[in-house]
Amino acid sequence: MALQIPILKIEEFLIVSFQTELSDREIEELRESILEKIKEQSARGLIIDITALGVIDSFLARSLSSIASMANLLGAKTVVVGMQPAVALTLVELGLRIRWNLATALNLEKGLALLRKNLREEVTSLG
């Protein structure tokens, strides 16, 4: 069954919003379609919205981390937005076992601002 998670585009960025908990298989499928879409749109940034998730298991945490690294190779910076306090606490407790190298922002708006800022800085540092 095909996944029903839309990948939206705004400016040069992609937005993916998790609305329900996904199975490990679905997460892998989603990862592939996100990466495809980044390449297809030559996106410069990816925002993953997890406001609706009350639980993040170690698999999803690792997957988010690897999606970020992969997207980075394709030229897109990743920001995770809208994490719930309980989720953050769990991840910190799991902290020793999971590599978490993702940028985070409080909400979509701030996530977008962060990506724009990164983009500007990159351009100035290169130029």
Residue ranges binding another protein (CB under 8 A): 80-81, 83-85, 87-89, 91-93, 95, 100, 104-107, 110-111
Distance CA 76, CA 54 (A): 26
CB of 22 to another protein, least distance (A): 19
Could you tell me if 105 and 79 are in contact, meaning their C-beta atoms sit under 8 angstroms apart? yes
Is the CB of 30 or the CB of 81 nearer to another protein? 81
Distance CA 1, CA 24 (A): 14
Contacts by 119-124, CB closer than 8 A, 24 or more apart: 119/12, 119/44, 119/45, 119/77
CB of 104 to another protein, least distance (A): 4
Is the CB of 75 or the CB of 95 nearer to another protein? 95
Is the CB of 29 or the CB of 52 nearer to another protein? 52
